[in-house]
Amino acid sequence: MIKVLFFASLREELGTSELTIEAEHLPELNIRGVKNYLIELHPEWNIALQQPALLAACDQVMVKPESQIQDGAEVAFFPPVTGG
């Protein structure tokens, strides 16, 4: 099972802060596969999840779309963060 978290404005856009998906349902066991599966389940999330600047983390480490994940991972998506 993969725990998926959504933060900041992305959480507001999607209307949820987290969900879980079964790893065997993913087309690819990587970040891109998680996004593609979520878009397949929720086509209305396509624009929000395909943002070019969207960031992803796996088990609290920043990762790229092709980064492999393991069953039991926690995947987080969030928009770019700015600070002052």
The β-bridge partners of 57 are 62, 76
Within 8 A by CB and 6+ apart from 44, the residues are none
What pLDDT sits at residue 84?
57
Q: Is the pLDDT of residue 7 over 80?
A: yes
Cβ contact 14:84 at 8 Å: no
What pLDDT sits at residue 27?
84
* Residue 46 lies inside a defined structural domain of this protein: yes
CATH of residue 26: 3.10.20.30
Domain of 71, in residue numbers: 2-78
Encoded tokens for 57: 């983390």
The number of distinct structural domains making up the chain is 1
Read off the pLDDT of each residue in 20-44 and give the average, rounded to a whole number.
94
The three-point CA angle 53-56-59 to 5° equals 165
The dihedrals phi and psi of 32, each to the nearest 5 degrees, come to -60, -40
Q: Give tens-digit pLDDT for 53-76.
A: 999 999 999 999 999 999 999 999
* Residue 35 lies inside a defined structural domain of this protein: yes
* Residue 84 lies inside a defined structural domain of this protein: no
